[in-house]
Amino acid sequence: MTSKREPIHGQWSGRLAFILAATGSAVGLGNIWKFPYITGENGGGAFVLVYLACIAIIGIPIMMAEVMLGRRGRRSPINTMRFLLVEEQASPHWQWLGWTGVIAGFLILSYYSVIAGWALAYVFRTGSGMLTGLTADGVQSIFDDLVGDPERLLAWHTLFMIMTMTVVARGVRSGLEQAVRFMMPTLFALLLLLVGYAWNSGYFEQGMNFMFHTDFSKISTNGVLTAMGHAFFTLSLGMGAIMVYGSYLPDRVSIAKVSIVVALMDTLVALLAGMAIFPIVFANGLEPGSGPGLIFQTLPIAFGHMPYGALFGMLFFLLLVFAAWTSSISLIEPAVAWLVENHGMTRVFAAMLAGSVTWLLGLLTVFSFNNWSEVKLLSAIPVFRDSTIFDLLDYLTANIMLPLGGLLVAVFAARTMSRESSVEELNMGDRFFYPLWRFLTRYITPVAVVIVFLHATGILIVFLRAIGIL
Ligand code: PHE
């Protein structure tokens, strides 16, 4: 059955435009801010290996599945799921998949915007020369001053949300393609410059060792869950961002090829960020597991000691803001597209509404770093003993909601949807690649996600003990 639908929000101009936009969504704070600090917190090498394995065997197949569902449905994720469940005669409950994605998007953007606000603040701090020549302690105290002041965080968060709403209101496609086209190569170049600095720091080997020496005794069960969750987060999977971008993809483009390119670029940026940061961490006697402030406490040291450091530093944080910006718009696009489709709102109004809700939720994160830093809502549960509200939001979204959303996407695409539909939409022949994709999404992906969940919640251990394996 061919049931091609016409897109109503417009389309990308072609393959390259989609690759740029999807890479813009994928490459963001996740690669440059989050990947290094969670690698540091989870002991290095083994964590990186689990993360890379998750990208390859879970991330890429699910990305293909999400793009495919989006392109077939050609609407916001909520309406895409509604349409597809009718077409495939599936249970009406599948529409919840669209809804949970929208909620995850709001929750993620609420803290994402606050962290992007830090990057904005650092554009000015590095550019003005305030960080030039400082020691590790000096850099640390500048960071502490920033996050300790709720008013300043609120101002930057507000500015970033306004930036996000402005682009979303204008329609994702105008201007965005151009921005990403210029941004990606420059970001690569600056990361390479930083890796070059790290190379000369005398600690490059130690940094590489930390990232690539695999010692499985250093990773906890929760670390494995974090690595898997991060694979979803960094590829923007499990909440509809890639699905909504897929809904603007022209029919003839190969979904497999574009998905692989996007995943490779995303991984490359994350690895380069790690290679730049860890040598600087060791060269300055810093702690790799020091948490969300890691890049703000390390990179300014490097910029502060290199020629034209203020200029390069400013440019780097500016690009980080751009990277975050092209991701943040994809986080609320599913909600905005739905408001336009179902409530007849203009894009401008829908963007303002969705943005205001997110802004308000962002206050939880703003206060997590200062006034409420001692509020530990789930301290009764051992893994959450020290978790602030920000930590809980991050855990809930990245480690639970996204993998669960991704799991359901895999189940729908490879089990509920008919083989004919997916063969037609993926269009990669019936020989090797289609069966491989189907095998991965039918068996490997769901089983891997479920095992990691059971493992992290301790249920697996109890079960294995019960049947005498452990
Ligand atoms: N992938 C983005 C990043 O790495 C974050 C993101 C998650 C964007 C989920 C959209 C959806 O920064």
Q: List, in order, residues 6 or more apart from 386 with CB less than 8 Å away.
A: 376, 379
pLDDT value for 9? 78
Q: List, in order, residues 6 or more apart from 17 with CB less than 8 Å away.
A: 173, 177
Protein residue with its CA nearest to atom 7 in ligand 1: 236
Residue 328 Cα: closest atom of ligand 1: 8
Interval between CA 173 and ligand 1 midpoint (Å): 18
Interval between CA 464 and ligand 1 midpoint (Å): 35
Please answer whether residues 349 and 202 qualify as being in contact, where contact means their C-beta atoms are separated by less than 8 angstroms: no
Q: pLDDT > 70: what percent of the chain?
A: 97
pLDDT value for 1? 42
Query: Predicted confidence band at 464 (pLDDT cuts at 50, 70, 90)?
Result: confident
Interval between CA 330 and ligand 1 midpoint (Å): 8
For a substitution probing ligand 1, which of 326, 331, 394, 401 has the most ligand atoms within 8 Å of its CB?
A: 331
Give dist(CA 171, CA 177) in Å, integer. Answer: 11
Protein residue with its CA nearest to atom 6 in ligand 1: 236
Query: Predicted confidence band at 178 (pLDDT cuts at 50, 70, 90)?
Result: low
Interval between CA 118 and ligand 1 midpoint (Å): 17
Query: Predicted confidence band at 4 (pLDDT cuts at 50, 70, 90)?
Result: low
pLDDT value for 396? 94
Q: How many CA atoms lie within 13 A of 150 on its CB side?
A: 12
Query: Predicted confidence band at 177 (pLDDT cuts at 50, 70, 90)?
Result: low
Query: Predicted confidence band at 6 (pLDDT cuts at 50, 70, 90)?
Result: confident
Residue 331 Cα: closest atom of ligand 1: 10
Look up residue 435 and give its two tokens.
């069966």
Please answer whether residues 225 and 316 qualify as being in contact, where contact means their C-beta atoms are separated by less than 8 angstroms: no
Look up residue 218 and give its two tokens.
């250093």
Interval between CA 35 and ligand 1 midpoint (Å): 12
pLDDT of residue 8 exceeding 80: no
For a substitution probing ligand 1, which of 32, 168, 236 has the most ligand atoms within 8 Å of its CB?
A: 236
pLDDT of residue 54 exceeding 50: yes
pLDDT value for 2? 46
Interval between CA 352 and ligand 1 midpoint (Å): 21
Q: What is the mean pLDDT of the chain?
A: 92
Protein residue with its CA nearest to atom 10 in ligand 1: 236
pLDDT of residue 122 exceeding 80: yes
Query: In the block, which residue shows the tokens 């997916």?
Result: 422
Interval between CA 37 and ligand 1 midpoint (Å): 16
**50 vs 212, 213, 249, 273, CA distance in Å?**
11, 12, 31, 18
Interval between CA 232 and ligand 1 midpoint (Å): 8
**90 vs 68, 353, 382, 415, 446, CA distance in Å?**
17, 32, 40, 10, 19
Q: List, in order, residues 6 or more apart from 62 with CB less than 8 Å away.
A: 232, 235, 237, 238, 406, 409, 410, 441, 445
For a substitution probing ligand 1, which of 102, 330, 336 has the most ligand atoms within 8 Å of its CB?
A: 330
Higher pLDDT, 184 or 123: 123
Residue 323 Cα: closest atom of ligand 1: 12
pLDDT of residue 36 exceeding 90: yes
**Per-residue pLDDT tens over the stretch 289-329:** 999 999 999 999 988 888 888 998 998 899 899 899 989 99
**Per-residue pLDDT tens over the stretch 87-103:** 999 999 999 999 999 99
Pocket of ligand 1 (CB under 6 A): 25-26, 28-31, 108, 233-234, 236, 239, 241, 327, 330-331
Interval between CA 275 and ligand 1 midpoint (Å): 21
With residues binned 3-state (H G I as helix, E B as strand, rest as coil), the percentages for the chain, rounded to 5, are: 75, 0, 25
pLDDT value for 382? 85
Interval between CA 380 and ligand 1 midpoint (Å): 30
Please answer whether residues 214 and 39 qualify as being in contact, where contact means their C-beta atoms are separated by less than 8 angstroms: no
Residue 154 CA to chain centroid, in angstroms?
A: 22
Protein residue with its CA nearest to atom 11 in ligand 1: 236
For a substitution probing ligand 1, which of 103, 234, 265 has the most ligand atoms within 8 Å of its CB?
A: 234
Q: What are phi and psi of 94, to 5 degrees?
A: -60, -25
Which bin fits 76, alpha (ψ -120 to 50), beta or left (φ > 0)?
Answer: beta
Rg (CA), the chain: 22
User: How buried is 296 (Cβ within 10 angstroms: 0-12 exposed, 13-18 middle, 19+ buried)?
Assistant: buried
pLDDT value for 174? 66
Which bin fits 236, alpha (ψ -120 to 50), beta or left (φ > 0)?
Answer: left
pLDDT value for 466? 84
pLDDT of residue 140 exceeding 50: yes
Protein residue with its CA nearest to atom 8 in ligand 1: 236
What amino acid is encoded at 268 in this protein? L
**Average of pLDDT values for 153-168?**
95
pLDDT value for 201? 86
For a substitution probing ligand 1, which of 187, 233, 331 has the most ligand atoms within 8 Å of its CB?
A: 233
Query: Predicted confidence band at 454 (pLDDT cuts at 50, 70, 90)?
Result: confident
**Per-residue pLDDT tens over the stretch 365-385:** 999 999 999 999 999 988 899
pLDDT of residue 179 exceeding 70: no
Q: Where are the beta strands (DSSP E) in 303-346?
A: none
pLDDT of residue 41 exceeding 90: yes
pLDDT value for 3? 52
